[in-house]
Chains A and B, each alone.
Chain A
Amino acid sequence: MDDLKMRIKELIIDSLELEEVRPEDIVDEAPLFGEGLGLDSIDALELGLAIKKKFGVRFNARNADNKRHFASVNALAAYIAAEMEGKGA
C-alpha cells in the first residue's frame, strides 16, 4: 500500500508538473484540492487521465463518489487498490 501511495504521489508531481514538491512533501491524508496541495479542477481532470493511463483504473463513479476518491492520497490509493484487485481477480 505504501508503495502504491508513493507511486501515486510521484504521478501527481509528474503529471501536474509540480515544481519543488517532493513525494514526501505530500501528506497521505491531506486534502488534494483547495487547501493542502491546492490542486484545482483542471488538475483533477488531468490527474484522472494520468491515473487511467498508469493504473488502468477508471473513475466510472457518481459525482459524489468521485469527490470522495480524489479527497486525498489515502482515498485515491484505497480506490485504485480496490479497482486493480477487482480486475486482477
Chain B
Amino acid sequence: MGVGLAGLFSGSALVLKLYPALVSASLLVLFGVSLVCPPSLIFRFAMRQDKSIRGSLAEKAVEAYCRKVTWAWCVFFAGNGGLALWTSFCASEAVWAVYNGGVSYILIGAMFAGEFMMRKAARKNMPRAIPLSRVEAGSRAPGDKLCFGEDGSWKTWGDFLEDTAKIRRGIQALQKAGSGPEDAGESSWLLHCEDYWHFLVSLTAVLQCGAGVTLVASLASERLKELESGHAGLLTDQPLPQETAPSLAALAVEELLAAQVSSEETARPPSICPEKSRITLLTSGSTGQPKAVTHRLAELEKDNLGVLEQWGVNFYGRRLCSTVSPQHIYGVLFAVALPFTAGLPFRRERIRYPEELALLSGEPWVLITVPAFLKRIEEDLGGEGFSAPGRFWIFTSGGAVDKDTADRTEKIFGTCPLEVYGSTESNGIAWRRLSEGEAWTLYPGVEAGLDGEGRLTVRSPYIAAPAGLVTGDLAELLEGRRLLLRGRADSVVKIEEKRISLPEVEGRLMQSGLLAEACVLPLSGKGAVRRQILAAVLVLNEEGRKKFRDQPPRVLNSYFGEFLRRFFESVLIPKKWRFLEGLPCDAQGKKSRNALEACFAAPAPSPFRLLPPAKVLEQKEGELLLELALPEDSLYFDGHFPSFPLLSGVAQMEIVLRLAACHLGSSPAVERAKRIKFSRFIRPGARVCIYLKYVPEERLLSFKILDSADRKEIFSSGSLLLGSGA
C-alpha cells in the first residue's frame, strides 16, 4: 500500500510495478526469520488454530511438518518474487499484468491446495494415541512398526492383528472343546509372559474374547494350583513347573503363534469394552492373605492417556525398553500399554543386565525401570555419546529413588529419573524428580487427603470406585497439590520394589506343618547398595525337630527356601534363617523387633543347635533377667556323658552369648573369659533363670545362671570380655 502510494506520488510506473515483488520479498523475510528463530510461522498459525496440539504426543511431529511447510513457502516466495521482479524490468506491461494479476494468484492457490492435501496425508502418520479399546484393523497402517527384537526383527501393526487373531483362535478352540466355561464373558485366564510382545498379543486376545485376565508374577507351582479353579487356563511363553496340576489347561503362546489364520480373522478384530474388561493383579495385602486387585481396562487406559498428556511430547522419535516384569501394575502400564498406545516402538526382551543398555542403538530412548536396577549400574557403563543430552527419558516406580541413586543416574544417563508414585490398587497418584525436590506432585485430576491415622486417601480418575481408596502409606500434605511420603502404615514391606506382606510369608511358612512359630522381618544387607532382604526366625514344632534332628543348618535353610519357592518369586524368599526354640519377646510377651534383628548380627552358631526358649522377666538398661526352659531333647545336652547328660560349660557360654546378643545387642564373640565359676550341674528338663549385665564401654558381659528368679542357687557365674566385632 505504502509502495503503491509512493508510486502514485512519484508518478513513477516502475515503483508501482515493483510492488508484487516487494510483497513477496517481505513475506520471504517474515517466513525466513521464523525459520532462524523458531517456532516457525506456520507452526504458530497451527497452534493458534488447534489448541490441542500443545503438549500432545504429536506436538513435535506437527512442528517438524510445519517447519517443512514454512520452508516450502520461503522457496515459493523467492521464486514468485524473482519472476515478479523479472516481469517488472524485462517484460512488457501485458506480461507483467497477466503474471502478477493472474498467474501469481493461481500459483498461491495451488500452493494452498497442495499443502492441504499433503497435510491430510501427513495427519495419518502423525503420532496418535490408540488405546487397546479403540483398536480397529485400520487404526494404523499395516506396516507401522510397533515392537522390535534384539536381533533386529520387527513386529508391525499387521503382525499385531495377525498374532492376536492366532491367540484368540487358541482360546476359542479350548472353549469349544468344552474344557473351558461355555460363556467366554464369564471366564478368566491366567497370563504370564516374559516377552513383552507375547504379553501384549495374549492380553489383547483374551480381552477381545470378552474374558478376564489375571496376571501371575511367577509360575510358582502351589500358587498356580490355588488359582487354577477360578480360571479357564493359563497362557504363557515359559515352561511350566513339573509339579503343576495336570488339570490346568496351559496354552503355549509360541505354539499358538506358529499356526496360520485366515485374512478374515485378521481383518476384523473384536472390539474391547473398557468398562467391562477385567484385569486382575496379584499382590500382597496387609491381612497376610494374597490379594487380588481387579481393574477395568478403562482406568488403566486413562492412566496411560494422562501420562501421555503430561509427558507425551517428550516421547517423539524415541524407542522404549524396560527392565520390569509386565506382570506387575507398573510393567503392564508403562512397559506394554503405554508404548502400544503411543505407537512408541518397544523392545521385546526385558533388559536384565545394565551392560545391555550400553548396546542399545543410537536413537533416543524411554527407559522403564526401578530404583533396584538404577542403583546397581556402574558409573562407567556407557561409552562416548551414551548420555548425550536428551538421549534418555527414564521412568521409575515401585519405591522412592534415594539422593545418591538420583545423582548417579544423572551422571550415567544425563537425566534425573522421573519417579511415579502409585500402587497396584490406585494406579498412578503422583510424580517427582528428585532434582526438583523431595515432594511429590499429584497427577492431574487426583485428589488427596489423610485419614485419621495419617494414611493417604486418594480419589482419582484412575480408580474405578468413585469414593476412592485409602493407601497403606503415611503422608504429609503440602501446599500446591504436593505431598511427602512417610513410610508404610502396616506390615507390608517392599523388598527391592516388590511389595510383600510379612504375615503372608509367615502364614505360608506355617503351612509347612513343621513350625510352631514363624517371624519374618526385613533386613538391610552389608554391601555398598545395602540390599534389602527378608530374614526369617523360625521355631520348629515337635515334627520339625524330629525331621531335622542332627541336620546341618543349610539343610533347614534350603528346605524352607524351596518350600516358599512354590508360592513366591525368588526375590521374596528369605535369604537368612535362624532357628530358635522360642521367639525372643519382651516382658509384655510381645515380639521384640530389636532382639529379632540381633539374631542376625552374628552367624548362626556351629555346630548347629537350637537355642532354648527364653522369656524376659525383667529388663533394664543393659540388664536382663530371663527364664529359660531346657527340654530333655535339646541338642545342648548332646556330647556330654551319655549316661549322665548335662549342660557343658561351652554350651552354657554359647547360650549366654546368644541371649545377650539377642536382647542386649552385644557382640557374640569372646575375647577373653574372666573369673568363670561352675558351681552345680544343669540337667535336662531344668528351668533356669539367667541374669545378664552388659557394659558396652568396657565390652564386659557378666552373667549368673540361677535356679529361680529370687537368685538363691547359683549354677554358674562369671564375666566375659567381648570382641569388638558387631
Scan B550-571; emit 1 where CB is below 8 A from any A CB, else 0: 0011100110011001000111
Number of interchain pairs (Cβ within 8 Å)? 89
Closest chain-A Cβ to B368's Cβ sits at a distance in Å of: 15
Given contacts A19-B604, A62-B150, contact A42 B353 (CB under 8 A): no
Binary contact readout A27-68 vs B (1 if CB under 8 angstroms, 0 otherwise):
000000111001111111110110010000011111110110
Q: Does B358 contact A (CB under 8 A)?
A: yes
In this assembly, does A3 line the interface, its C-beta being within 8 Å of a C-beta of chain B? no
Q: A76 to chain B: closest CB distance in Å?
A: 13
B376 lies within 8 A of A46 (CB): yes
Residues A64 and B353 in contact, CB atoms below 8 Å apart: no
Closest chain B residue, CB of each to CB of A20: B554
Q: Does A17 contact B (CB under 8 A)?
A: yes
The answer to whether B352 touches A44, judged by C-beta atoms less than 8 angstroms apart, is yes
Contacts of B527 in A (CB 8 A): 15, 17, 46
A-B contact pairs, 23 of them (CB 8 A): A17-B576, A20-B552, A20-B554, A20-B577, A25-B554, A33-B570, A38-B561, A38-B570, A40-B570, A43-B570, A44-B353, A45-B354, A46-B531, A48-B353, A48-B354, A48-B355, A49-B378, A60-B359, A62-B359, A63-B352, A63-B353, A66-B353, A66-B355
Q: Is the CB of B358 within 8 A of A60?
A: yes
B351 at the interface (CB under 8 A from A): yes
Majority-rule SS of B interface residues: loop
Q: Is the CB of B570 within 8 A of A49?
A: no
Check if A20 sits within 8 Å of B571, measured CB to CB.
no
Chain A residues with CB under 8 A of B557: 19-20
- Give the distance in Å from the alpha carbon of A15 to the alpha carbon of B373 in the complex: 17
- Are B373 and A38 in contact, with the CB atoms below 8 A? no
What would 17 more interface pairs be, CB under 8 Å, given A42-B496, A49-B378? A16-B575, A17-B527, A17-B576, A19-B575, A20-B553, A20-B557, A20-B604, A21-B554, A38-B562, A38-B570, A40-B571, A41-B571, A42-B376, A44-B353, A45-B376, A49-B376, A63-B353
Size category of the binding interface on chain B? 35 or more
Cα A63 to Cα B226 with chains together (Å): 33
B373, chain A: closest CB distance, angstroms: 7
B272 within 8 A of A: no
- B573 and A59 within 8 A (CB): no
**Alpha-carbon separation in the docked complex, A43 to B569 (Å):** 13
The answer to the question of B445 belonging to the interface, with a C-beta cut-off of 8 Å to chain A, is no
CB-CB under 8 A from A49, the residues of chain B are 376, 378
Instruction: For the complex, give the distance between the alpha carbons of A42 and B359 in Å.
Output: 21
Chain A residues with CB below 8 A from B333, complex form: none
Which chain A residues lie closer than 8 Å to B358 at the CB level?
Answer: 60
Within 8 A of A (CB), among B576-613: 576-577, 603-604
Give the residue name and chain of the B residue nearest to A50 (CB): B527
How far is the CB of B559 from the nearest CB of chain A, in Å? 12
For residue B692, CB closer than 8 A to chain A, the reply is no
Q: Chain A: residues with CB nearer than 8 A to chain B?
A: 15-22, 25, 33-35, 38-46, 48-49, 52, 58-64, 66-67
Checking B352, B354, B575 against A67 with a beta-carbon cut-off of 8 angstroms, the contacting residue is: B352
- Report whether B372 and A61 are in contact in the complex, using a CB–CB cutoff of 8 Å: no
> Is B356's CB under 8 angstroms from A66's CB?
yes
Check: B317 CB closer than 8 A to any chain A CB: no
C-alpha spacing A43/B603, complex, angstroms? 20
**A58–B604 touching, CB < 8 Å:** no
Which partner residue on chain B sits nearest A19 by CB separation?
B576
Contact B355 A59 (CB under 8 A): yes
Contacts of B353 in A (CB 8 A): 44-45, 48, 59, 63, 66
Q: How far is the CA of A64 from the CA of B355 in the complex (A)?
A: 12
Known interface pairs A17-B525, A17-B526, A60-B358; A66-B352 also in contact (CB < 8 Å): yes
| Chain A contacts for B570, CB-based, 8 A | 33-34, 38-41, 43
B141 within 8 A of A: no
The answer, yes or no, to whether B529 is at the interface (CB within 8 Å) is: yes
A18 to chain B, nearest CB (A): 8
User: How distant is B320 from chain A, measured CB to nearest CB, in Å?
Assistant: 15
Cβ of B711 to closest chain A Cβ, rounded Å: 37
Instruction: Tell whether B349 is near chain A: CB-to-CB under 8 Å.
Output: yes
Contact between A38 and B571, CB atoms less than 8 A apart:
no
Query: CA of A37 to CA of B373 in the docked complex: distance in angstroms?
Result: 22
Question: Closest 8 A-B residue pairs measured CB to CB?
Answer: A40-B570, A20-B554, A45-B376, A40-B571, A63-B349, A59-B355, A20-B553, A66-B353
CA A18 – CA B604 in complex, angstroms? 12
CB contacts under 8 Å to A, within B519-547, are 525-527, 529, 531
Q: A34-B570, A66-B353, A66-B355 are in contact. Are A42 and B531 (CB under 8 A)?
A: yes
Q: Which listed residue, A15, A38, A45, A46, touches B573 by the CB 8 Å rule?
A: A38
Cβ contacts under 8 Å, A48 to chain B: 353-355
User: CB-CB < 8 A to A15: which residues of B?
Assistant: 527
With both chains docked as a complex, state the minimum distance between the C-beta of B568 and any C-beta of chain A, in angstroms.
10
Contacts of A62 in B (CB 8 A): 150, 356, 359
User: A40: nearest residue on chain B (CB-CB)?
Assistant: B570
> Which of B351, B359, B529, B569 interacts with A46 by CB under 8 Å?
B529
Q: Does A61 lie within 8 Å of B355, measured CB to CB? A: yes
Chain B neighbourhood of A44, CB < 8 A: 352-353
Determine the distance from Cα of A19 to Cα of B525 in the docked complex, in whole angstroms.
Answer: 12
CB-nearest residue of chain A to B348? A63
CB distance from A21 to the nearest CB of B (A): 6
Q: Please indicate the chain B residues that have their CB under 8 angstroms from the CB of A18 in the complex.
A: 575
